Structure 1
Amino acid sequence: MHSAVPDHDDHQSPILRLNGVSKRFGEHAAISDINLTIHSGEILGIIGRSGAGKSTLIRCINGLVQPDQGTVEVEGRAIAGLSESELQPVRRRIGMVFQHFNLLANKTVAQNIALPLKIAGRPRPERQRRVLELLELVGLSGREHNYPAQLSGGQKQRVGIARALAAEPALLLSDEATSALDPETTEQILRLLGDINKRLGLTILLITHEMEVIRRIAQRVIVLDSGRIVEEGQTWRIFATPQSAITRKLLGSVLPEAPATLLAQLNPNAGEEAIFRLDLGGPGASAPILSDIARQFNASLRLVGGGMDDIQGQPVGRLFLAVRPQSPADIPAITNALAGHTLQTELLGYVSGTV
C-alpha cells in the first residue's frame, strides 16, 4: 500500500507551494504564515483538530478564498489575482474528495463521474470511455447506471474519488474523506488511495483530524494548530518522537500507553525494579537493545507493555520496560545506555515488586 517518498529534483517546480500564507476573518486569524510545499508523487498529510485552520487552508489552495498575505502557486502558477475564468483551468488541476461525498442524487454514477468532463466540454464518447476506465480503477465496474441512493458509503466515496480523477488532476485533495466511514471501509478507501498514488504517480494532500489515517498512508505530515504549523516531518519520525504538545495529544489514541496497574504502583523513589518508557524508530529500532543492556549490566529486564508498528516501511514503537539492576547505583548508567539506543528514554519511576 505504501509508496516510497519520491526523490525530488531541486530544479523541478512543486505541484503546490504556499509561501507565507495568512488569512483573517475580522479579528480571528484563521491561518498564519503557512509555508508548504508538496512535490509530484508525494502523499502529504495535514492534521489538526476542529478549528485548527484546515478548512481555510483548503479554500486558499483551490482559490475560493484569497489570502491576506502570501502566495499560493499551483504547478508554478500564482493564483492570486486571477479572474474566475482564469481560475477554472487551475482548479481542474486539483481534484477534490469530500467527507460527505457531494454526489448529485438525481444523476447516475456515470453521470456524476462524467460531470467535470461535461463542464470542461469534452465530447460524449471521451466522457463515456473515461468513466468506464475510472469505474474499473476504483472497483465499481458495472455500477455506472446505479444512483447514489443504491450505494453504500464506501461505494459513494469511490464514486467521489473517480469523479475527482476524471479530469486527470495533478493534485488530489482529500478533505476528511474517511471521517463518515466505518473503520473497515476507511481501510479500503485508504488502500485505494495508496494504490492510485502508486499506479498513477498522483500527488495526494490529505486533510484530516484522524491520526490513524495519517499513519496508514501519509509519507510526510504537517501538524496545524490555531492556524499555524507547529510540527512537520516524515510520518514515522513524528509518530516516534512527537515534539509539540498538540501532536502528542493527537497521537494519544494510537500510541501505546503504560498499563494502568503499573502506573498505580509507581514510586518516584528507589524500588526493586525501575520502569522505563522507550521510544524507538528507524533502523536502530531493530537492534537487540534489551539483550545488550541485560548482558552489559547483568540486569533482569522484562517488557511490561507497549508495542511496535510499521509506518511507511520504518519500525516505530513505544515499549515499557522493567529493569531489576544488580545494584541501584547502576540505574544512571543503564538510563544513559538505553538513551543511546533509543530516540527517547524516560525513567518513569520504581515499583517494589513484580507487576
Structure 2
Amino acid sequence: MNSFVSASTIAVPPEAEAEEVVRLTDVRRRFGTTPALDGVSLTVRKGEILGLIGRSGAGKSTLIRCLNGLEQADSGEVHIEGRRITGLSEKDLQPLRRRIGMIFQHFNLLSAKTVEENVALPLKIEGLGKAERLKRAAELLELVGLADKAKAYPSSLSGGQKQRVGIARALAARPALLLSDEATSALDPETTRSILALLKDINRKLGLTILLITHEMEVVRSVADRVAVIDAGRIVEEGPVWSVFADPQAPITQSLLGGIRPQLPDYIAARLSPLSGPEQILSVDMAGPAAQGALFADLSQALPQSFRLVHGGIDHIQNQPVARFFIAVPTRDSTLPEKVQQFLKARGARVEVLGYDTDHA
C-alpha cells in the first residue's frame, strides 16, 4: 500500500469503503424561502474524480458545506465513507473532517509561515510531533514538485506554486476525499493544465477520491471521470464525461458546453429560417463506435451530392471519439433531407434540424 494512504480512524463498513465515499440522498437546504439544495441525490465512488459543475448560485457551495458538516441539511441524508453525518454534533464531526481535504480558489495559505509549515499545519492541530510533521510535509512537497520550496514563504511563490502547496496541505492528514472548490479559477490556462494534471496524477498514485467543484466545462473535460450538472439546487444531468459531452440533455448543460463543442457559425445561424430555403441545415452528433466509422464517405456513396460539410470536428474524451458536425442538405429534391436523416440515424448519429439556409444558392 502507498505510504500516503492509511486506514480511517472511523469504523467503515467494508462494502461502503469499496464502493462509495460520498452518498447524498434527497438532500434539501433552504435559506428563507430560497432552496439552495432541492432534493440532491449523488454518489462519489472510491477512486473516481467527479466533476460537479454549475453556474454561480446553483448550489455548489452549499453542497460542499453539507459534506464537511459546516451546514446541516434540512432533510435528506449525507453519508461519508458509509457513516451518516446528518445531525452529528460538532465533536463527532471533527474526526470525519480529517477524512476530507479541501483546496480553495484563493489558496488560503498563512503568509507568516513557510511552505513546509503550511503543509504541516493540519498535523500540528492533530497533535503530531514536529519531526513527524516535517517528514510528512517533505513527502508531500516531493509529491507536488515543490521539494526545493520547503523553507520559502508564500509571498515568493507563483499562483500555481501556491496551489500546489494548498494541495499538499489538503493531503497532509491522509484524507479519503479531496474537495476542490474552484481551485483553478484564479489561474492562467497553462497553470490550470498543470494543476489538473497533478490532481489526476495524485488520483492515480493514491487512489484518492476527488470531487471537483467548478463552473468550467474545460476543467471537467480534462480530468473528471464523471460529471454531474447542478442547476437551481438540483442535479439535472450526470454521467460519464464523454457521454454527457457527446449528447447533453439539459439546457444548462448545453449552454455550459457552448464554448467547447463546435457551434454553427454565427453568420449562418443568423440567416436560418424555420420554414424553407435552398438547403436544410442539420447538426449531427456522434460518439463511440458511430464516430469512428466512415459515416460521411458512406453517405456520399449511398446518396451522391446529398450534402456539404459546413462546420465541425472530432474530439477525444476519456479515450472515446466525440464528434459534432453541421451539414447542409439541398432541398431541390424534397425527399432528400429525410433520406439523409434516416441514413445518419440508422448509423447511430443524433440528428437535429436547425432550420433552412435562406441565402445559399
TM value normalised by structure 2? 0.91
Contact 1:173–1:207 (CA under 8 A) maintained in structure 2 = yes
Task: Describe the shift of the 1:257–1:107 C-alpha distance in structure 2 as closer, same or farther (beyond 3 A).
Answer: same
Q: CA deviation at 1:91?
A: 0.5
Of 92, 97, 108, 1:102 maps to 108
Q: CA deviation at 1:264?
A: 3.9
Of 140, 148, 153, 2:154 maps to 148
Of 309, 318, 321, 2:315 maps to 309
Of 202, 206, 211, 1:196 maps to 202
What residue ranges of structure 1 are gaps of 5+ in the alignment? 1-8
Q: Give the whole-Å Cα distance in 2 for the aligned partners of 1:53 and 1:215.
A: 21
Letter of the structure 2 residue corresponding to residue 222 of structure 1: A
Contact 1:47–1:208 (CA under 8 A) maintained in structure 2 = yes
1:68 corresponding residue in structure 2? 74
Of 100, 106, 117, 1:111 maps to 117
Q: Does 1:251 align with 2:230?
A: no
Q: Does 1:241 align with 2:247?
A: yes
Q: Does 1:331 align with 2:337?
A: yes
Instruction: State the SS of the aligned residue for 1:142.
Output: helix
Task: Describe the shift of the 1:297–1:325 C-alpha distance in structure 2 as closer, same or farther (beyond 3 A).
Answer: farther
Task: Describe the shift of the 1:102–1:288 C-alpha distance in structure 2 as closer, same or farther (beyond 3 A).
Answer: same
The alignment covers a number of residue pairs equal to 347
Of 238, 262, 281, 2:287 maps to 281
Letter of the structure 1 residue corresponding to residue 202 of structure 2: I
Q: Does 1:178 align with 2:193?
A: no
Of 71, 84, 95, 2:90 maps to 84
**How many percent of aligned residue pairs carry the same amino acid?**
56
User: Structure 1 residues 285-294 or 339-348, which shifts more?
Assistant: 339-348
Instruction: State the SS of the aligned residue for 1:252.
Output: coil
Q: Give the whole-Å Cα distance in 2 for the aligned partners of 1:209 and 1:125.
A: 40
Of 187, 190, 201, 2:193 maps to 187
RMSD: 1.9
Q: Deviations over 1:262-309 (max 9, x none)?
A: 334444455554322111112221111101111111235432212221
1:46 corresponding residue in structure 2? 52
Q: CA deviation at 1:326?
A: 8.4
Instruction: State the SS of the aligned residue for 1:102.
Output: coil
Task: Describe the shift of the 1:265–1:26 C-alpha distance in structure 2 as closer, same or farther (beyond 3 A).
Answer: closer
Contact 2:271–2:359 (CA under 8 A) maintained in structure 1 = no
Contact 1:297–1:325 (CA under 8 A) maintained in structure 2 = no
Q: Does 1:228 align with 2:268?
A: no
Contact 1:298–1:326 (CA under 8 A) maintained in structure 2 = no
Of 104, 114, 124, 2:130 maps to 124
Task: Describe the shift of the 1:343–1:59 C-alpha distance in structure 2 as closer, same or farther (beyond 3 A).
Answer: farther
Q: Give the whole-Å Cα distance in 2 for the aligned partners of 1:93 and 1:315.
A: 37
Task: Describe the shift of the 1:255–1:13 C-alpha distance in structure 2 as closer, same or farther (beyond 3 A).
Answer: closer
1:157 corresponding residue in structure 2? 163
2:32 corresponding residue in structure 1? 26
User: Structure 1 residues 100-109 or 75-84, which shifts more?
Assistant: 75-84
What residue ranges of structure 2 are gaps of 5+ in the alignment? 1-14
Contact 2:110–2:118 (CA under 8 A) maintained in structure 1 = yes
Q: CA deviation at 1:120?
A: 1.0
Contact 2:329–2:336 (CA under 8 A) maintained in structure 1 = no
Task: Describe the shift of the 1:80–1:284 C-alpha distance in structure 2 as closer, same or farther (beyond 3 A).
Answer: same
Q: Give the whole-Å Cα distance in 1 for the aligned partners of 2:52 and 2:75.
A: 21
1:57 corresponding residue in structure 2? 63
Letter of the structure 1 residue corresponding to residue 111 of structure 2: A
Instruction: State the SS of the aligned residue for 2:194.
Output: helix
